[in-house]
Structure formats: C-alpha cells, structure tokens
Structure 1
C-alpha cells in the first residue's frame, strides 16, 4: 500500500467582528450576541487570507458554524482558483463559556445562503458540544476534532477556520504554552504521516493592516 503524502493544515482565525467596533452591538442583538458578523475590515482580512491560497489546491475548508467564520470561508474561497467545499464543523466553535445557552448557531439554510460551496454531505466530528468549563475546557474537543477531520480527509491540504480560543488550545496541544492569535492570521501545521508539527503561528505578513488584531490580549486562559 502506498504511503500517503505529507500535507499541510492551515489554521485561520476569523476576521474582525462587528462587536469589536460597535460596543453596543451585543446589547442591540440580545438573541444572537454570540454570533456577530464580520466588519468591512474583517471581510478584507479574509480576502487577503484568500490571496495566500490563490494557487494552492485545498482538499477542504473545515469551518466553525458561527457566521463570522463562514463569512471568512466564503471570502477565502472566492479568491481560489480551485474552489474547495466548506465543511461546517461544530467541533471548532467557540468554547461554551463564550456562547449563549444554547449557542445561537445559524441554521444550515442560513449558512447555505452564503455560499454554493457548503458541503451538505459532511458528517461532523461533533454534532453536539459536551459540557465545558473555561477556555481550556474546549481543549480536548478541538484536539479530537483536529484528529477527526484528518482521518476523514487523509490526503490533501486543509484549511481550518475557527476562533481565538480553540486555536490557542491547539497551540497548547502542539507546543505547550497558551498563545492567542490575531484575527485574520495564519498558522501552519505540517502533517507528517499523522505526526503534527507546527511550522509557524500567528503569521500576519499577508495583511495590509497587521495591527489591532486582538491577539495576545490574554496571557492566561480563563478557567
């Protein structure tokens, strides 16, 4: 049996969200305060991420179900020559302590209205998120999801679009310390036949405005 090829997995944090600039947005949207959309700048950040993947063949984009992540995925796909499908994966969503109870995840119909590239056949690693406490509480879940999606797609490059806390938990898993990435940044994992090696983290050089990205705000996670 031929050995599978090495491949890369990129981690992307969604772009700037409306409640970053409109401090009353959550107050004005009490029924979905955990699901703000992207700002104009956030969409530009996603567009600039997409340019980085213009000529790279990506097998799948694995995306948190929150609107800001799906919008980020849509902007990225728009810039790609070979447009992969987008798989909606609750396993990469925000930790429960940062969400409503239950989380105001948009319906699949709402998500599908944003792009024709949504993969309706995809079966997520997590249909329902287990009880979690604090930011580190989602660590086991996101690591299981990372391993699960690489088993579902054993070949080809992948992009994972998620949030600051889940990506920080992946850094804990791969490197040990807690490190919080900026919005619209890129991190790259090399998948060496099932052994994950972090090549770079929180890369900003593709962004035209590589400041005020809400990274490194918390030196320690909430527990």
Structure 2
C-alpha cells in the first residue's frame, strides 16, 4: 500500500462542501505554555535560546511586540497542519480562510493554507476579534498593533480583501463597547460568511468565544426538519445572549473549545433566510498524552 493510501482518511467525502464553513480555534499559544514572561526567559544575547523544542525560534524578542498578541507554538503549528490535512481528506479544501487579526489566528491560518497547497486566500476580518472588554480587563490601554508589517508580512495576507468591520472601527470603539455588543458583532460576521455565495467551503480561524457563538447559531438549525425548509420563509435568526458570569464563563468556554478544536456550520438550504446546523465531528480530534483538541 502506498504512503498516499495510508494517509488517506477513511471518512466519507463531504457531499456539498460549498455549504460548509469550518470554525477553528487558533492553535496553542506561547504564553500559555511558557508563561507571560517568555520573551525574557527564552532570550539570550537578543536571540531565542529555546529551553524547549516547542518554542518557535523565529520569534522576534521585542519587549512589547507580543503584548496581548502572542504567537503560536511549534506544536500548535503541527496540530493545525494535521487538522488541515484531515479537512482536505474529507473533501473540504477551502479556497478562502477568514481569520481574526490576532497573530495566533493569522499564524494558524497560514499553517492551514500551506498544508492546502497555498491556494487559499487568507483574509483578515477584524470583526472576528474577541470582545474588546476582555482586553481592557486584562490591562490593555489600547488594542495591539495587529497589522504591524514585521508581524504580518510573512504570512501572505490578501491585502485586497475588504472586511465587514475595519480595524479602525474597533480601535475607535475600544473604550466603549461591552461584551454583549462584541458578541453580536462576531455573530453578524459569522452569519455573513456562512451565507456568502461561493463554490467551495470556507474556514474561519478565531477564538473560543467564536466557537461558542457558532455552536449556538447552529443549534437552532438542528431543530428544523429539512423536509420543511420551504416553510421557513419567516425564519428569524435568534439573538445570541452573552453569559453574565464574566470571567468564569470565559474560562469555561476556553476549556470547552481547546486550542485547535474544530466544528462545522453547514447551511442546510440554498436560499435565504439561511438555516445553519452545527456539526461537531467534522474531522477526528487530535490527542497526545493528556492533551486533546476535542470539543467537550
């Protein structure tokens, strides 16, 4: 048996990939593994002196460059490539990847694109960014410079893409937008992406909160009989309500949707108003030792 046969997924191919939007949480981040002071502990003579092979040696050890905007680990990159290979074997070879402007999301998107053969456009959509309130609560006085050239130039970002929300809009709203408003923003962006007219599937790389919003959007579709879709002309999409338990809710969502976890939103009808259905077993999870990116 050839190596290609050994690598081929035994899962059935997706029958209508253009209806599928893959939602993936960004890969494992450096600061969660090596601590918030990793730029100092891994530094020697202005270069990365990796104490662990999971540390990316191409990191730029600037004292404030990664504040509130950390990169991904080497393991994060490799698990992302495995995810992308599984999607490709499933017949979901997306030609467009939407991602949050966070560096970890851009790097995750780039790893996917490379595995797919660099044929997918990487489109940075600021509207997918986590709630601005979370940055304020963490001590940020303003948003990080997500679009700094020395951060993004290496990843082949589509500079012609016109996002739904500009980074300027988020910057202007940094001090005033609350969690509820930001969650509605993310929900709006997801619905627009899922409803867009395209010939192939699409991938969204963002945060744990994005995964949770997508899951809740799709749960409504699970309750509709596909045989009765013609009767859904008055279908109104439910509003996703924010949990009121603050930090506890944020931590619970982070545990429920581990780094690199993946779900699907499948459009189960062809004309608006679109009905979306959540699929949690789009591809198999990746597990190693005590780690798994399986959605809980």
TM range (shorter): 0.7 to 0.9
Unaligned runs of 5+ in 2: 1-15, 41-62, 220-239, 244-252
- Closer, same or farther in 2 for the Cα pair 1:82/1:34, shift >3 Å? closer
Deviation at 1:153, TM superposition (A): 4.3
Q: Which residue of 1 aligns with 2:279?
A: 199
Q: Which runs of 5+ in 1 are unaligned?
A: 218-223
Task: Give the alignment partner of residue 144 of structure 1, picking from 181, 185, 188.
Answer: 188
**CA distance in 2: counterparts of 1:49 and 1:215, whole angstroms:** 12
Higher relative contact order (CA closer than 8 Å, sequence separation 6+): 1
Cα deviation for residue 140 of structure 1 reads 0.4
Match of 2:154 in 1: 114
**Matched residue, 2:86:** 52
Higher helix share: 2
How many angstroms apart in 1 are the aligned matches of 2:88 and 2:106? 18
Between structure 1 and structure 2, the one with the greater Rg is: 2
Matching residue of 1:8? 20
TM-score (normalizing by structure 2) = 0.61
Instruction: Say whether the 8 Å CA contact 2:287–2:293 is kept in structure 1.
Output: no
Aligned residues between the structures: 211
Give the alignment's Cα RMSD to 1 decimal: 3.1
Q: Is the 8 A contact 1:6 1:190 kept in 2?
A: no
Select 1:181's aligned residue among 240, 257, 279. 257
Q: Indicate conservation of the 8 Å contact 2:23/2:206, yes or no.
A: yes
Secondary structure of 1:114's match?
helix
Residue 97 of structure 1 deviates from its aligned partner by: 2.4
Cα separation, 1, equivalents of 2:39 and 2:114: 32
Partner of 1:104: 144
Distance 2:118 2:107 in 1: 18
Cα distance per residue 1:14-51 (max 9 Å; x no partner): 11101111223389655642100001111122121121
Structure richer in strand, relative to its length: 1
Match of 1:125 among 154, 161, 164: 164
Q: Would you say 1:83 and 2:119 are equivalent positions?
A: yes
Aligned equivalents of 1:141, 1:42: Cα separation in 2: 27
